[in-house]
């Protein structure tokens, strides 16, 4: 699979997070030209793919963290994407406000949110387009992440495992 990224600006969006689907939000720890983003009690579930101390959420809010690079993913990291997408889809179906976030809220969170939308019934092309429309045109600019979605995460995970 290719790892080259498209020639797009990875400037963080101005909004701290954007609603991509009902009860499903995508965001980052930073935003363009503003203070760092801190999550307080806006969400019932926060799924983080990047973590920075002091950015919340408070201890009584359900929070899951899986460190992930904005580059080629291992089979274990792809399994984390699948797990997070499952958690997010389950939370949305249960009526819980859910935030998926990474550093800038563009690629890693975009991968999980797009997969969540697929699990909620959207096709892959429509899920990618929705992420870009609702969060940023630069979301999912990592072509490898788009390829993971197009290939299907279970297949991508198996293929990544062959490199181990």
Residue by residue, what is the 3-state secondary structure of 63-101? EEECCCCCCCCCHHHHHHHHHHHHHHHHHHHCCCCEEEE
Say if residues 74 and 153 touch (Cβ distance below 8 Å).
no
Q: What is the pLDDT of residues 19-30, one digit of tens each?
A: 999 999 999 999
Nearest Cα to 42, choosing from 64, 27, 21? 27
Say what the pLDDT of residue 2 is. 40
Contact assessment for residue 43 and residue 25, using Cβ atoms and an 8 Å cutoff: yes
19 vs 17: CA distance, rounded Å: 7
Q: Is 104 left (phi over 0), alpha (psi -120 to 50) or beta?
A: alpha
Q: Is the confidence at residue 5, as pLDDT, over 50?
A: no
Q: Which two tokens stand for residue 80?
A: 């984390």
End-to-end CA distance of the chain: 15
List, for residues 88-140, the tens digit of each pLDDT value. 999 999 999 999 999 999 999 999 999 999 999 999 999 999 999 999 999 99
The pTM score is 0.92
- Let me know: does 140 contact 111? Beta carbons within 8 Å: yes
pLDDT band at 3 (very low <50, low <70, confident <90, very high): very low
Cα–Cα distance, 127 to 119 (Å, whole number): 10
Query: Is the pLDDT confidence value at 7 over 50?
Result: no
Are 101 and 26 contacting, i.e. CB atoms less than 8 angstroms apart?
yes
Model confidence at 40: pLDDT above 90: yes
**44-79 pLDDT, tens digit each:** 999 999 999 999 999 999 999 999 999 999 999 999
């Amino acid at each position: 699979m290719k790892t080259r990224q498209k020639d797009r600006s990875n400037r963080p969006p101005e909004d701290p997070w954007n609603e991509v689907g009902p009860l499903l939000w995508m965001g980052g720890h930073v935003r363009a030209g503003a203070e760092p983003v801190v999550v307080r009690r806006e969400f019932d579930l926060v799924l983080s793919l990047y973590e920075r101390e002091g950015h919340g959420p408070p201890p009584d809010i359900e929070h899951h963290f899986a460190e992930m690079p904005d580059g080629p993913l291992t089979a274990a990291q792809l399994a984390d994407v699948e797990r997070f997408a499952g958690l997010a889809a389950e939370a949305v179906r249960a009526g819980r406000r859910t935030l998926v976030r990474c550093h800038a809220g563009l690629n890693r969170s975009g991968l999980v949110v797009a997969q969540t939308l697929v699990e909620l019934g959207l096709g892959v092309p429509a899920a990618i387009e929705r992420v870009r429309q609702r969060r940023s045109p630069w979301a999912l600019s990592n072509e490898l992440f788009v390829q993971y979605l197009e290939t299907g995460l279970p297949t991508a995970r198996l293929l990544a495992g062959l490199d181990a």
